[in-house]
Amino acid sequence: MVGFGTWGRGLRSGGILCFGDSLTEGFGVGRDEAYPALLQQRLRDHGYPQRVINAGVSGETTGDALYRLPKWVRAQPEVAIVALGANDAFLGVPLSIMTSNLAEIIVAFQGAGSRVVLAGLSIPGLFGVGEPEAFSSVFPDLATRHGVSLVADFLAGVPGQRRYNLLDGFHPNGAGYHLIMERVWEVLQPLLPPV
């Protein structure tokens, strides 16, 4: 997997950018256990040449992501996997703002010629976030509106499950990231050229 220092290398020749927050970065686990690293190994195992870049930043909201977006758009990844929004929910960012920010991110990557995979999220009721159904509907609505691929529920079966979580009950452990990688792989593989 490619680190931050080599962000410009390899992307234009078929790189896959994982653009997100702590759920991408791998908060609480080694970066080699987070889903981008597992995805890189899956690609290698199946003979794909694409390189995976982990561009996750813990604690980031969709608004924060807009500030660093231009650097990654300039890199013109073949595929950009966008997994953002959980921190917006926890911090009470209005859904209209979160939706607008995600749309801007999607359109920017599409403008650079990237195929976009959007990670759908749902927020378990145990976190006390208001309007969970309205929050969850943002992602399929955006995917339909902008014609992008959707990982329907990026975290399905992970939050609140001790087997798949860190002690905070939300962030995935290594086993949880394996579930997430499989979910992402199902959506990503059809977008890749045959090997």
Query: DSSP of 5-64, one letter per residue?
Result: GGTTSSSTTT-EEEEESHHHHTTTS-TTTSHHHHHHHHHHHTT----EEEEE-TT--HHH
> What pTM was computed for the model?
0.91
Which of 2-16, 37-51, 54-68 is predicted least confidently? 2-16
pLDDT of residue 78: 96
Whether 1 is in a domain gets the answer no
Q: What sections of 147-189 are H helices per DSSP?
A: 174-188
Whether 195 is in a domain gets the answer no
pLDDT band per the 50, 70, 90 thresholds, residue 1: very low
Whether 4 is in a domain gets the answer no
User: Could you tell me if 56 and 23 are in contact, meaning their C-beta atoms sit under 8 angstroms apart?
Assistant: yes
Structure tokens at 115: 């195929």
Q: What is the CATH number of the domain that holds 170?
A: 3.40.50.1110
pLDDT band per the 50, 70, 90 thresholds, residue 130: low
Q: How many independent structural domains does the chain possess? A: 1
Domain carrying residue 159: 12-190
Q: Which amino acid belongs to residue 51? A: R
Whether 2 is in a domain gets the answer no
Cα atoms in the Cβ-side hemisphere of radius 13 Å centred on 148: 31
Whether 82 is in a domain gets the answer yes
Residue numbers annotated as active site = 22, 168, 171
